[in-house]
């Protein structure tokens, strides 16, 4: 169970018990150049649904890869939404947002289950070696979300990181790939390749059929890959770092997600 504790300034609770993920879903992934649509930040583990809205005050660095800012976020039921306008020039582009630190404490069983679900086996093993397996888990979570959209026709480089603390970077443009093709990925943490990261993958097709898999662990270059199907995709990964100052929390946790659409044909 989650235990409430006093919060320092600019820290926020995560409402759902084990929900870790935050991901962006646009009203549609392909827009005409200059066209606008709703962009929603979802919270929770039940992709593509959202379990809770993220407080607007917790959001930071909302932007497009073109440099345009994403402003005027609003809580709308179980989502947090804004409007984005596609660039005037045709091509692929990102929308992105991050959260400020969020404080969470889970009882030992819940924390261990959450770590196992996320594939954070190094943290589980470390806690066991240090005699902490039966202790609650206290973490400060910073989440980064980005989504890949298309203005007009897909194209342009998408393999450059946006500078988020933890980031999943596609090394090919998913909008240019067919179902059945392989998408290579790179996971970077603080700008450097992250080895040993597990990427949790979920997708849903037009009929509502869902699938999931785990990709990785990433190699020394931060690399892994997934074989694509037609539909909307969400990729998610996690990185935990032991804190030196443990008065508020024991772990700094970084979460990253990437969403995109794969069409049945180009």
Looking at residue 119, what is its pLDDT? 86
**CA atoms of 188 and 198, how far apart (whole Å):** 12
* Secondary structure letter of residue 115 according to DSSP: H
Per-residue pLDDT in tens (0 to 9) along the chain, 266 residues: 333 333 333 444 444 345 569 999 999 999 999 999 999 999 998 999 999 999 999 999 999 999 999 999 999 999 999 999 999 999 999 999 999 999 999 999 999 999 998 889 899 999 999 999 999 999 999 999 999 999 999 999 899 999 999 999 999 999 999 899 999 999 999 999 999 999 999 999 989 999 999 998 999 999 999 999 999 999 999 999 999 999 999 999 999 999 999 987 65
Looking at residue 19, what is its pLDDT? 52
CA dihedral 49, 34, 184, 41 (to 10 degrees): -20
* Secondary structure letter of residue 127 according to DSSP: H
First to last CA, the chain: 46
Looking at residue 12, what is its pLDDT? 44
- Compute φ and ψ for 106, nearest 5 degrees: -115, 145
pTM flag (> 0.85): yes
Looking at residue 62, what is its pLDDT? 98
**CA atoms of 82 and 256, how far apart (whole Å):** 20
Q: Which two tokens stand for residue 231?
A: 């539909």
Neighbouring-strand partners of residue 54: none
> Do 144 and 96 touch, CB atoms closer than 8 A?
yes
- Give the number of other Cβ atoms within 10 Å of residue 214's Cβ: 13
**CA atoms of 104 and 13, how far apart (whole Å):** 6
**CA atoms of 114 and 109, how far apart (whole Å):** 9
Q: Which two tokens stand for residue 109?
A: 């069983």
> Do 187 and 196 touch, CB atoms closer than 8 A?
no
Kindly list the strands in the beta sheet with 74-76, ordered across the sheet, starting from the edge strand earlier in the chain.
Answer: 22-26, 36-43, 79-85, 74-76
- Compute φ and ψ for 217, nearest 5 degrees: -65, 150
Q: CA-based diameter of the chain, in Å?
A: 57
């Amino acid at each position: 169970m989650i235990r409430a504790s006093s919060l320092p300034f600019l820290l926020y609770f995560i409402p759902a018990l084990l929900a870790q993920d935050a991901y962006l879903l646009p009203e549609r992934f392909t827009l005409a150049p200059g066209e606008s649509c709703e962009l929603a930040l979802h919270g929770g583990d039940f992709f593509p649904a959202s379990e809770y809205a993220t407080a607007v005050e917790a959001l930071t660095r909302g932007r497009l890869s073109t440099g345009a800012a994403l402003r005027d976020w609003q809580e709308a039921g179980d989502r947090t939404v804004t409007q984005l306008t596609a660039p005037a020039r045709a091509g692929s582009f990102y929308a992105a947002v991050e959260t400020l630190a969020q404080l969470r404490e889970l009882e030992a069983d819940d924390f261990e289950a959450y770590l196992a679900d996320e594939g954070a086996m190094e943290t589980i093993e470390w806690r066991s070696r240090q005699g902490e397996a039966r202790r609650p888990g206290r973490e400060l979570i910073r989440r980064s979300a980005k989504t890949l959209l298309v203005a007009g026709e897909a194209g342009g480089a998408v393999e450059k990181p946006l500078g988020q603390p933890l980031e999943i970077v596609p090394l090919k443009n998913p909008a240019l790939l067919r179902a059945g093709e392989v998408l290579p990925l790179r996971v970077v943490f603080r700008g450097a390749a992250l080895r040993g990261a597990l990427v949790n993958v979920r997708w849903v097709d037009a009929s509502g059929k869902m699938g999931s898999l785990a990709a990785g662990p990433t190699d020394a270059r931060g690399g892994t890959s997934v074989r694509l199907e037609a539909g909307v995709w969400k990729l998610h990964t996690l990185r935990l770092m032991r804190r030196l100052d443990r008065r508020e929390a024991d772990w700094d946790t970084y979460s990253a997600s990437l969403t995109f659409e794969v069409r049945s044909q180009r």
